[in-house]
Structure 1
């Protein structure tokens, strides 16, 4: 039978906390408990499992078409970096189950070396979040979360897709749970010859082959009605070949392996919860200057993490949250400019939340990081949200965030600089949300001032070196419109967004490179009974690739249109067809690396 707790404090319909409600709170166990609190003050966009299938080739493709994130990709399947609101990839945090997984070597994430399948929740948060999620959470954060359900019995699914350019994607997931025990496992294998051609650019994606394999395991057990122990693990192995421009060019490749394992012990009562987590992660890579020869260079990175998150309601209207974390980061380079590295770092954060009425809430946070051999600033955040009237609500967020120098920034030989200080930012943004029946419109103006920008620059000595350089002001507007309506057997869903981004180097007063001033996305879904049709579009404006705003070298604006149709029988069997880049648009997200023109895929899903 389901274990129920008398919840002394629970979220009301408006997101505040009230006494005396009865609610089943342990049917689902969520590894990132902090995210449920973040959503009460910040706009977070969730991407559903069904939406993932629209753009299933990679995490890069998914975020390009279904989020405000700009994706810079060196051709399909190659190195890919995300950026929010005119910032860089180093100002974007990728968070796995509450743990920041940006590479210690680069200080950022390669999205094509992060698996797409296997998560239960994929969420995107714009704006600063270093108090909760640490270094790099300046422009925004991407959250990859798992959950474990209880009392569901056996569940499973199979997904298989065949697509253009010799692309095959297979994903399997199965789980079992009763009232006290939950277990889930999944596996994904993706491979592509990736040999597409763009005749208008006289380009063939030679040596573009890639593959990756992922295994996910998770389990949870209720020791009692108040205690839950859980474990989640992910193993990922991938290989990318880097495109060459001529048939007899030198063929290279990059292999990567990651391991993430997280053990959690949660204690839950009506007004008090505590989550203790211990995590171990590995981030290893090997570069091959010749695909037929032994590795040319590489590095192995290991992280040991312990984190505690305590949450307590002093009164029904006052909540305190204390977060402590300690890490040991180690790395060993192999002919890569890095030697043997060990770094200790920790942090202490406190947040106070106040709910004076059902329609008004406030949150204030402060955090201090302690990074070995680096002086880190005191961080802070303040957020408020007000449901002014039934059809309008507003929120404001002010925060100080940071990015610590990466291992490459500090220790690369030659060019590393151990005297670097962290980048810091002051972020201010607002949310204005309007509701008109089934239509919701959100307008989010923002401003960021980033100082001590970390840049690699050429030196008179013939090599590149890294320095704290200029300041950057980023400002603009993010907007989102959603509409969902059911008419008998007919269903219509719209999700669109527009982003205006100005990111100015204060030294030159020019737009930062690879920051499109305009970006817009739209996804329209129509359902009738068992049939589903969708259309999605992406517009990307002029994007400068040089620091002097030279239009001759800029990426031209482009519009890409995708569509798909699928049918589902007995809620178990789905067969679908997708057509990407219907208009045969020629476009690039990085200079000299065109993306594919029109291409196709078919897929099938079985749920049991």
Structure 2
């Protein structure tokens, strides 16, 4: 094998290597989303470990709110929740499970609090467009939920249990076994919360806020030959959310969701050629109950059949081509008041990327993609990226891309109101990432610009119902930044600090007003300190002025607030950990969605056993 051939190899220490002289055959890690390894060569990606996720064990909204630049709009703790990347909407954020886009075909988005929180080996957050690789909706950014399987690790397992305020109980069990050819991992999570918190200053009680969910994950990989691996990853998720009401005797409603995801992959990794073939089936069911204990009043079922092939070839050691082909059949059927009959559509795409590595410090990537969406005129998409390591302390990369989102089933077929003449939303964008290194410090500054056309917006028709139309053009620009510091002082002391600040200006070009629920300023920080068997962490999150109306009314705006969490844990004999957390230690009164305050100071105790 050429010593200069691009080889991205994850060893047991999870080290990413660009140029590597030989392949390792032991302690390797099988990664289900093989494209993410390449994405990291040209884009800044934030990675959260299971230990990071555990700091905010209430739900996925808390994780993203305190540990990412994403703004989360949540209708009360654990209720309907949606993300906003760089001033874009929830429909313009892609959720990706092991390389497969899992946004709802009905809504065109993912409900953050109806996506499983535990059972992943890492969560990765990528700001900026990615439709060439990850498809419809990857306009503002994408959130990646990834699983890995290790070889030659033997047996391991862990059990974590948490008891928290508001009648919250959270249990997670995981076990894994692997040898040189076979790897198996299984996990399960059960979370329930009465969620009956009170905010006296706002005269608010979170009546009917109960939620619970269960998750089961199974992963299997087998090396059928030295360069070939077959694998299976499956997730089963079941959840119930009771929607908060404003009076104790109000009408109690609830929402139930069941999700099934299956992915089978066959991977070949040779010295010049690699190929990954995936077949996936995903199913999302939901039921809405207008009266809690009565039959459901609406609902739906969405089934997706997916075939995807990713072919990678090194023409010469410095030149790589990548061809990605995908076919999907999306099926949906509404129930009750949704008015959506049984519908389906075929979606195909072909993407080509070329990567050139003239030197160890310079790399380029260009991509082009054509989607074929039944009854929709899809645009040609493109991406251009370059990264240059100018000195040991400074590197820069520039990205240009065109991205899109095609209309959802609700947009097209909701009755009454669906609009079959809708065009896809499209965007063009650019960003530039400047990275500075000084000792153990790392600073990343990322100015960006996004222009969105044909944004789909639901409007009152004046005939007693609403309907979606291609209306606004939106311009978003701003700055994302991140500061990192990590150091091991000796065998007993280690410290890790991350801080992120984002400035976001997202303007409706027709009205020249800031979009609703897009804060101008957001700051978050995380500090971890470990001394021998003791570990301490603290989180802080500042959210700036956030308008809730289209006229930028300060009267109805959400005013700036600061929230801080902290925790302490002790590990004995490397197997037993006991921890204590205080959330919102500042006892701040705050909300991310108008009229829905989030909890004041609250507590949790957790215990972990590793075996």
TM range (shorter): over 0.9
**Contact 1:581–1:599 (CA<8 Å) still a contact in 2?**
yes
**Contact 1:90–1:136 (CA<8 Å) still a contact in 2?**
yes
Q: Which runs of 4+ in 1 moved over 2 A?
A: 5-26
**Given the alignment of the two structures, is residue 461 of structure 1 paired with residue 491 of structure 2, yes or no?**
no
Q: Distance in 1 between matches of 2:20 and 2:558?
A: 56
Task: Provide, for residues 151-172 of structure 1, a one-character-per-residue CA deviation record: whole Å limited to 9, x for no partner.
Answer: 1111100010000000000000
Structure 2 alignment gaps of length 5 or more = 10-14
Task: Provide, for residues 16-72 of structure 1, a one-character-per-residue CA deviation record: whole Å limited to 9, x for no partner.
Answer: 854743434872110000000000000000011211111011111000000000000
TM-score of the pair, normalised by structure 1: 0.98
* Aligned-residue offset at 1:490: 1.3
* Aligned-residue offset at 1:9: 2.6
With 331-340 and 532-541 compared, the bigger mean Cα shift is at 331-340
**Given the alignment of the two structures, is residue 587 of structure 1 paired with residue 590 of structure 2, yes or no?**
yes
**Contact 2:7–2:20 (CA<8 Å) still a contact in 1?**
no
Equivalent residue for 1:565? Answer: 568
Equivalent residue for 2:504? Answer: 501
Q: Distance in 2 between matches of 1:354 and 1:456?
A: 44
Task: Provide, for residues 484-504 of structure 1, a one-character-per-residue CA deviation record: whole Å limited to 9, x for no partner.
Answer: 111121111101100000000
Equivalent residue for 1:577? Answer: 580
Equivalent residue for 2:600? Answer: 597
Q: Distance in 1 between matches of 2:20 and 2:563?
A: 50
Equivalent residue for 2:5? Answer: 9
**Given the alignment of the two structures, is residue 53 of structure 1 paired with residue 49 of structure 2, yes or no?**
no
* Aligned-residue offset at 1:111: 0.8
Equivalent residue for 1:437? Answer: 439
With 194-203 and 10-19 compared, the bigger mean Cα shift is at 10-19
Structure 1 residue matching 2:225: 3-state secondary structure: coil
Alignment root-mean-square deviation, CA: 1.4
Q: 1:185 to 1:17 in 2, by over 3 A?
A: closer
Structure 2 residue matching 1:23: 3-state secondary structure: coil
* Aligned-residue offset at 1:449: 0.2
Task: Provide, for residues 453-496 of structure 1, a one-character-per-residue CA deviation record: whole Å limited to 9, x for no partner.
Answer: 00001111121111000100000000000001111211111011
Equivalent residue for 1:553? Answer: 556
Equivalent residue for 1:326? Answer: 327
Structure 1 residue matching 2:449: 3-state secondary structure: strand
Q: 1:293 to 1:430 in 2, by over 3 A?
A: same
Q: 1:235 to 1:280 in 2, by over 3 A?
A: same
Q: Distance in 2 between matches of 1:24 and 1:519?
A: 44
Q: Distance in 2 between matches of 1:12 and 1:319?
A: 13
Equivalent residue for 1:152? Answer: 153
Matches within 5 A, 1:28-427: 28-335=29-336, 336-427=338-429
Q: Distance in 1 between matches of 2:18 and 2:576?
A: 41
Q: 1:169 to 1:137 in 2, by over 3 A?
A: same
Structure 1 residue matching 2:65: 3-state secondary structure: helix
Structure 1 residue matching 2:249: 3-state secondary structure: coil
Structure 1 residue matching 2:469: 3-state secondary structure: strand
* Aligned-residue offset at 1:10: 4.1
With 568-577 and 66-75 compared, the bigger mean Cα shift is at 568-577
Q: 1:334 to 1:414 in 2, by over 3 A?
A: same
Q: Distance in 1 between matches of 2:137 and 2:123?
A: 19
Task: Provide, for residues 548-572 of structure 1, a one-character-per-residue CA deviation record: whole Å limited to 9, x for no partner.
Answer: 0000011111100110000111211
Q: Distance in 1 between matches of 2:380 and 2:8?
A: 33
Equivalent residue for 1:525? Answer: 528
Structure 1 residue matching 2:555: 3-state secondary structure: helix
* Aligned-residue offset at 1:11: 4.6
**Contact 2:507–2:515 (CA<8 Å) still a contact in 1?**
yes
Structure 2 residue matching 1:553: 3-state secondary structure: coil
Structure 2 residue matching 1:52: 3-state secondary structure: helix
**Contact 1:8–1:21 (CA<8 Å) still a contact in 2?**
no
Q: Distance in 2 between matches of 1:334 and 1:291?
A: 17
* Aligned-residue offset at 1:337: 2.2
Task: Provide, for residues 184-241 of structure 1, a one-character-per-residue CA deviation record: whole Å limited to 9, x for no partner.
Answer: 1000000000000000110000000000000001101111102111000000000000
* Aligned-residue offset at 1:87: 0.6
Q: Distance in 2 between matches of 1:18 and 1:214?
A: 39
**Contact 1:440–1:482 (CA<8 Å) still a contact in 2?**
yes
Q: 1:37 to 1:25 in 2, by over 3 A?
A: farther
TM-score of the pair, normalised by structure 2: 0.97
**Contact 1:155–1:175 (CA<8 Å) still a contact in 2?**
yes
Q: Distance in 1 between matches of 2:248 and 2:62?
A: 27
**Contact 1:135–1:403 (CA<8 Å) still a contact in 2?**
yes
Structure 1 residue matching 2:62: 3-state secondary structure: helix
Q: Distance in 1 between matches of 2:212 and 2:158?
A: 22
**Given the alignment of the two structures, is residue 452 of structure 1 paired with residue 487 of structure 2, yes or no?**
no
Match 2:543 to one of 525, 540, 560: 540
Structure 1 residue matching 2:296: 3-state secondary structure: coil
Q: Distance in 2 between matches of 1:15 and 1:443?
A: 22
Q: Distance in 2 between matches of 1:225 and 1:19?
A: 18
Q: 1:216 to 1:17 in 2, by over 3 A?
A: closer
* Aligned-residue offset at 1:12: 8.8
Q: Distance in 2 between matches of 1:239 and 1:493?
A: 37
Structure 1 residue matching 2:42: 3-state secondary structure: coil
Structure 2 residue matching 1:63: 3-state secondary structure: helix
Q: Distance in 2 between matches of 1:230 and 1:318?
A: 29
Q: Distance in 1 between matches of 2:495 and 2:27?
A: 33
**Contact 1:174–1:186 (CA<8 Å) still a contact in 2?**
yes
How many residue pairs get matched? 604
